[in-house]
Amino acid sequence: MSKFRKTLDRLLNKPADFTWNEAVRIFKHLGYDLDDSGGGADFSFINKEKGEYFAMPKPHTKGGKPAIKSHYIKEMIKHLKDHNYI
């Protein structure tokens, strides 16, 4: 099983410790670019070829790995389903 598939399966299980780097790995594998031009912690994942867009703030951390809030994990899953990636 590929690293991408393992990460995607992990996302679908909605873990409390899903990290920013894992989210970036999924979106980049699917052809999205990371855009941080919004300033602050706001980031956008943009697939210019397909005209798709997903926005999410990068989590802050004080040591350890920055885990994504459960709300954004659910939104990410919904986005991937709505665009037929899963």
Q: Report pLDDT digits (tens) over 25-41.
A: 999 999 999 988 766 67
- What Cα–Cα distance (Å) separates residue 81 from each residue in 41, 54, 60? 25, 13, 27
In this predicted structure, the answer to whether residue 82 has a pLDDT above a threshold of 90 is yes
62: Cα separation from own chain's centroid: 20
- The reported pLDDT for the residue numbered 22 is 94
Report pLDDT digits (tens) over 59-68: 877 666 778 9
